[in-house]
Amino acid sequence: MPFPHALRALDHRDFRRFYVAQLLALVGGWMQAVAQAWLVLQLTDSPFRLGLISTLQFSPILVFSVVTGAMADRLPKRALLVATQTTLACQAFLLGALVATGRVEYWHVAALGLALGFANVFDQPARQSFVMEMVGKGDVANAVALNSAAFNAARIVGPAVAGVLIAQVGVGPAFFVNGAGFVGVILTLGRLEARGLPARAGRATMLEEILEGLRYARRTPRLLLALGLVLIVSLCVFNFTVYVPLLARTVLGLGAEGFGFLMAALGVGAVAGALTVGGRGSREPGPGPMFLSAALAFAALGGLGLSRHVWMATPLLVVTGYFGIVLMASCNTSMQLGAPDALRGRVMSLYTWVTGGVFPIGAFLVGSISQAWGVSVAFLWNGTLGLLALAGIMLWWRRRARAPLGA
């Protein structure tokens, strides 16, 4: 029996299996994110050091994502994903063991965060481009939306469970749950029929293939628009593993359970946003709704800088999550539909670069501003910066639309 239209990508057996396994792993991943942030604050009580962990965790994406995107176009994607998921499982189990034995120190968290970043820089371009091979172009928009919904459903469940777990037994079990989730993904990958083989034999050098992908991006205006919007939203909005624990602890005076509740509120909005995109069908999203979504996400972020009570912060987090994910899923869909098969890994590595690669910069700024002037100022700063950058992109797009053909 086929799935409803809004869930049609699940009719593909490989995607359905991978989706379920990935959803469980994502819950564990969000549990680890919450536990790790709380662990760092327990060890250091320093907003700057919390931001530095995120910087280390995402720095490999900033430096290497374009290279690993070319590798994703050259190598079997399923085998590459098995390797990355194995690395992520080992990272989680080792951090859990250090916590359980009472030997964990700040530098352990930093080093293992860097290891996680190196695994993710190989994992994300391969996983993003593997989606198309499991569902085809007709259902890729729905698959992207379902993946966003899974990611953000996990954002609801993971932090909520982690908050209760941390309050009752401490941070250690969250890392073991995350490791077990990756083991489940590894076993599922072994059952898939799709192998993600390269679209063509690699006859060019790695450098030539990287430059080919960059040239394609430079001469494709819709791709440049999507990358620009994703870049500013990733830089200014999606630093919530730094923002929210600081908001909960220093502004609202909440404990671990309150932190989990705020992260869940963010996730509720994000799931609703992903399902909104999934219900649109397979058509490519237009620039107007993408501009509006970005503007509303930045406005809600600025509003969080004025929040002093949970009743005010919670709906603003819902709004931020909703419009942030509508924008991100729309841009992802636009890039997937527009990319040639042979270039998809490299195109999606650019998406990975702007979503995860600029995160170290944003996390460092948030941590530094919060340390010096408070997290409320950091919210106001990034909300304002995002709106100004968005105005610049809109001006560029309008001028380009008015320019004569061939100009």
Query: Please, what is the average pLDDT of the chain?
Result: 84
6 burial type by CB count under 10 A (0-12 exposed, 13-18 middle, 19+ buried): middle
Per-residue pLDDT, averaged over 396-404, amounts to 76
Domain boundaries, the chain: 5-402
| The token pair that represents 162 in the structure block | 């982690």
Block residue for tokens 């397979």: 282
One-character DSSP codes across 52-117: HHHHHHHHHHHHHHHHHHHHHHHS-HHHHHHHHHHHHHHHHHHHHHHHHTT---HHHHHHHHHHHH
pLDDT digits (tens, 9 = 90+) for 250-289: 888 887 778 778 877 887 888 888 778 766 655 667 788 8
The CA distance from 196 to 80, in Å, is: 9
- Whether residue 186 has pLDDT greater than 90: yes
pLDDT digits (tens, 9 = 90+) for 95-106: 999 999 999 999
Given a contact cutoff of 8 angstroms between Cβ atoms, the answer to whether 348 and 223 are in contact is no
Residue 404 has a pLDDT of: 53
Most confident of 120-124, 187-191, 261-265, 335-339: 187-191
20 burial type by CB count under 10 A (0-12 exposed, 13-18 middle, 19+ buried): middle
Per-residue pLDDT, averaged over 385-389, amounts to 94
pLDDT digits (tens, 9 = 90+) for 61-96: 878 887 888 888 788 889 899 999 999 999 999 999
Per-residue pLDDT, averaged over 359-374, amounts to 79
Residue 405 has a pLDDT of: 44
Return the C-alpha torsion angle 235, 236, 237, 243, nearest 10: 100
Residue 162 has a pLDDT of: 83
The CA distance from 127 to 360, in Å, is: 21
Non-local CB neighbours of 3 within 8 Å, separated by 6+ positions:
10, 11
The CA distance from 133 to 351, in Å, is: 18
Residue 273 has a pLDDT of: 84
Block residue for tokens 């290279």: 67
**Confidence category of residue 357, pLDDT binned at 50, 70, 90:** low
> pTM of this prediction?
0.72
pLDDT digits (tens, 9 = 90+) for 126-160: 887 788 788 877 777 778 778 877 876 776 677 77
Question: 5-402 maps to which CATH number?
Answer: 1.20.1250.20
Per-residue pLDDT, averaged over 29-58, amounts to 85
Per-residue pLDDT, averaged over 214-218, amounts to 85
pLDDT digits (tens, 9 = 90+) for 221-251: 888 999 999 999 888 887 776 778 888 888 8
The CA distance from 391 to 112, in Å, is: 38
**Confidence category of residue 406, pLDDT binned at 50, 70, 90:** very low
The CA distance from 274 to 304, in Å, is: 22
Per-residue pLDDT, averaged over 315-320, amounts to 92
pLDDT digits (tens, 9 = 90+) for 323-335: 988 898 888 888 8
**Confidence category of residue 185, pLDDT binned at 50, 70, 90:** very high
One-character DSSP codes across 246-290: HIIIIIS---HHHHHHHHHHHHHHHHHHHHHHHTT-SSPPPHHHH
Residue 106 has a pLDDT of: 94
Of 271, 266, 267, nearest to 313 (Cα)? 266
Residue 109 has a pLDDT of: 94
Per-residue pLDDT, averaged over 184-209, amounts to 78
